[in-house]
Amino acid sequence: MTQQGRISTSVRPRRPGSGSGPRARRRAVVASEPARGDALDYAGHNADVLLAQAEGLDSAVHLEWVVSRFLPCWGDAATRFDREHLEPTVLAVVDELDLAGDDVALTVLRGLGALARDTIAEASTAAAERLEAAGVTTPAWAAQIGQAKAVAARVSHNAEDDSAGVMIEYAYPDGARHALAAFIADDMGGAVKFMGLTKPFGEAFDGSELPFQTIDPAEGKRMIREALEVTDQERARFEGDPSMRELGPLAWSRVRE
C-alpha cells in the first residue's frame, strides 16, 4: 500500500458556510475574518470557525471530522507541544461555545466531549449538559456523535519491510458506516504516515484490486493505536501529510482503549 494508492472515496463534510439561511452566511463571514491577536479574540474567532464549519452538517462523522481538525493533539504520549498552554486555549474556546448557546454550539460541544482528552472532554461535556438543561436541542443525528463501534478490519502488509496499511470499518447505532484507514510506515519507526476517512468496505474498494486481509477489529485498533502513540505529533501537524492534522484526534478517539 503506497501513499499514491490511497483510497479516494472521501466522506469529508462541506466547507464553512455550507448551511442555509442568514445564520450560516453570517458565521461564514465572521469565521473568514482574521482574529485580532489577544487571547479573548483567539477564542472567539476559533469558536466562530467551528460554528461555521458545523453549520448545516447532517451526520456524526462529519461533525467529528470538523472537531478533529480543530484539536491540536491526541492521546497521552509525550509531545513537543506545550499542553499546559494548549489546554487553557482550547478551554477558552469551549467557554465561547457555551456562551453561543444554540443547537450548533451544542453539537460541537458534544463532538469535543467525544474526541478530546481529560479536562477538555470534561469541560465540553459539562457545557453541553448545561445547554441541554436550559432547553437547547440538537437534530436526531447528533445522538450518534461518539457512538461509532469497530465492526470489521483489514490489513495490507508491505512485502519489503514492516510497513502496513490498516483499515477499520465503524458502524453507528443508526446503521451508518464509514472506514478509517492508516498507513503505518516502517521507515518512520512504526508511526502513522497518512490517514484516510472513507466510505464503508463494500463501497470503498474492490477487494480483488487491493491485497487486504481480514483481521479482528481489536487487532486493527491496536495497530493504529500503537502507531499513533509513537507518531511525532509536531512533525505530523506542521510538516507531515495534511491528513494527520485533520484525522489524528478522530483516529485516536476511535482506537483508544
The rounded distance, in Å, linking the Cα atoms of 42 and 234 is: 21
Least confident of 8-17, 83-92, 111-120, 144-153: 8-17
pLDDT band at 92 (very low <50, low <70, confident <90, very high): very high
pLDDT of 225 above 90: yes
Residue 162 backbone phi and psi in degrees, to 5: -95, 15
Reference 176, options 139, 197, 147; nearest CA is: 147
At residue 117 the predicted structure's pLDDT band, cuts being 50, 70 and 90, is: confident
pLDDT top residue among 118 and 253: 253
pLDDT score, position 234: 85
Average pLDDT for 93-99? 96
